[in-house]
Structure 1
Amino acid sequence: MRDLGAGFNYLIQGQRWVARHGKQYGFGLLPGLITLVLYVAALIALALYGEDFVSWATPFADHWTSPWQGVFRGLLTAVLFALALLLAVVTFTAVTLLVGQPFYESLSEKVDRDVSPDGTAPESGLPLRRELWISARDSLRIVVRALVWGVLLFALGFVPVVGQTVVPVVGFFVTGFFLTEELTAVALQRRRVELRARLALLRSRKMLVWGFGTPLGLAFLVPVVAVFLMPGAVAGATLMARDLLGEETGEPHTDQRDRGDQEDRELGATA
């Protein structure tokens, strides 16, 4: 249970870190805003044309008598939209991290330097193109795993009682796990930790992972909230990655913190 509280504490610490570094927070908002606009546009299009798509995809039901045709196609339309929402929640973090890779890499490095006893941050040494490819490849693998879980839980949702009580709770914990994997990947990829090793690392500290990812997943159900929490989530995940690897973490360096505040003041003065 101590790990559960520690995971939540990293989430809070990450939000506090970006609150002290306004410049990093502002840059960190951009990828989430871009992704949110794209997702909202896609969901609106699905809401407007989903019924037409279902009708096109089920020509065998054209001659069914009323009300069975309407009930059948209405149910399929509802299922299609529900799956789209699930896909949006599952992939929002992965897509945002991919869009904002340079922003979040920079933010994560600054967190590492700020709390590292020697003021340094690990670097992968890979070119940006290679890092983007690895990030996209690993994100796709995680999304596929998450979708398999999503389809399974969606099917179990039709089981009486269990489907309405146990399944939603399990779903939130599953979402929290994969969400944490995506967020910690920013810091762990810089340390050249491969996907399989990352998953094993997270499974070894599940309570820590759930304490961080499950409340964040609940908050991310509101897309606008996800945008504003994303920079702090990356910062908190970087702190948690250090814990998972047993790296020493100290208090933020005063000189670096003051330098960050000075940069923010200078930015405001030139604006």
Structure 2
Amino acid sequence: MIKDFGAGVGLLLRGFRLVFSSPKRVLVGALPAVITSVLLMTGWVLLLTNINSVADWLTGFADSWSGTWKGVAEVAVGISVVAAVLGLSVLLFTAITLMIGGPFYEYISEEVEDELGGVPEAEQIGWWRGFVVGLRSTLLLVATSIAFAIPLFVCGFIPVVGQTVVPVLAVCINGYLLGIELTGIPFTRRGRSFKQRRKILATRRGLVLGLAVPTYLLCLVPLAALVVIPAAMAGGTVLSHRLLNGDRATA
């Protein structure tokens, strides 16, 4: 697992080298991320400016409580909402970016795979098909993330564990889901389904985590995603190419 994790980090670094070796790849990869950044920043502004109303609506059950306890409940719920959205933001950012920029990232993926030997009889995804496939996988992954987020949120109130183990688990889970997103295009070009993708990636979880966890953490840095996502896509393409070509020894 540790060796695979280190190899996964190496794939991300290789992704940076592959993308930054061509100014065109940098520009092509950054454009969809810029559009998504504007959309998500708008969403964050709307959320934060209306967080009091959201918290008040979600704490309707506390209307009969005293003013102090109702205020405490609203603050707690407001913080929880912001934390939950923050936890999902990287996954959503990647998913939306891939849906918007399908042709852009397909171009990067094709170029990377051409350098690796190409993909015989590769399917052309196209924007619309890429959007539909991306939307379907995004809904499934976000639902999975929320399903994990609920028990993790509850565990967050456990002393010590909630402040140490839970954040690490949350990063690993969301990172792994991000890794599934990053490999979508190369798998789809080979006609592989979402279910097949999950099954194959599950055979090398350490490798996926090594690629995706640093990507997830870097994307929490403002504007870093503009260059991190294209590099991670390139790294995900290399990972997919190796796994799908049976080169697991060197993956």
TM-score normalised to the size of structure 1? 0.84
Count of residues in correspondence between the two structures: 247
Give the superposition deviation at 1:99: 1.0
Cα distance, 1:4 vs structure 2: 1.8
Matching of residue 17 in structure 1 with residue 18 in structure 2: yes
Q: CA deviation at 1:120?
A: 5.3
1:231 is matched with which residue?
Answer: 230
Shift of the alpha carbon at 1:87?
2.4
Distance 1:92 1:49 in 2: 21
- Cα deviation 1:192-236 (Å, max 9, x = unaligned): 111111111111001111111111111111241112211111111
Moved more, 152-161 or 184-193: 152-161
CA distance in 2, matches of 1:99, 1:128: 8
- Give, in angstroms, the shift of residue 84 of structure 1: 1.8
**Would you say 1:243 and 2:247 are equivalent positions?**
no
Distance 1:182 1:223, change over 3 A: farther
- What letter matches 1:37 in structure 2? V
For structure 1, the 5+ residue unaligned runs are 249-271
Which sections of structure 2, spanning at least 5 residues, go unmatched? none
Task: Tell me what 1:166 maps to.
Answer: 165
User: Is the alpha carbon distance of 1:82 and 1:127 closer, same or farther for their aligned partners in structure 2, counting shifts above 3 Å?
Assistant: closer
Q: Which amino acid is the alignment partner of residue 4 of structure 1?
A: F
For 2:65 and 2:196, how far apart are their aligned partners in 1?
53
**Structure 1 residue 81 corresponds to structure 2 residue 82:** yes
Residue identity opposite 1:12 in structure 2:
L
**1:2-40 Cα distance to aligned partner (Å, 9 max, x none):** 222211111001100111111111011011111111111
Separation in 2, partners of 1:46, 1:125: 38
Alignment correspondent of 1:66:
67
Confirm or deny: 8 A CA contact 1:29 1:231 kept in the other structure.
Answer: yes
Matching residue's letter, 1:85: L
Q: Percent identity?
A: 36
Which moved further from structure 2: 177-186 or 57-66? 57-66
- Counterpart of 1:263 in structure 2 is none
CA drift of 1:59 comes to 4.6
Q: SS of 1:67's equivalent?
A: helix
What letter matches 2:156 in structure 1?
Answer: G
Q: CA deviation at 1:174?
A: 1.1
1:133 aligns to what?
132
> Which residue identity does 2:204 align to in structure 1?
R
Question: How many Å separate the matches in 2 of 1:123 and 1:151?
Answer: 39
User: What TM-score, normalized by structure 2, do the two folds share?
Assistant: 0.90
After superposition, the CA RMSD in angstroms is 2.0
Cα separation, partners in 2 of 1:29 and 1:168, compared to 1, 3 Å: same
Cα deviations by residue, 1:70-90 (Å, 9 ceiling, x for unpaired): 112122222122222222123
Q: Equivalent residue for 1:7? A: 8
Residues 145 and 56 of structure 1, relative CA distance in 2, 3 Å threshold:
closer
Alignment partners' CA distance in 2, 1:152 and 1:194: 29
**Distance of 2:217 and 2:242 partners within structure 1:** 23
Q: Does the 8 A contact of 1:112 with 1:121 survive in 2?
A: no
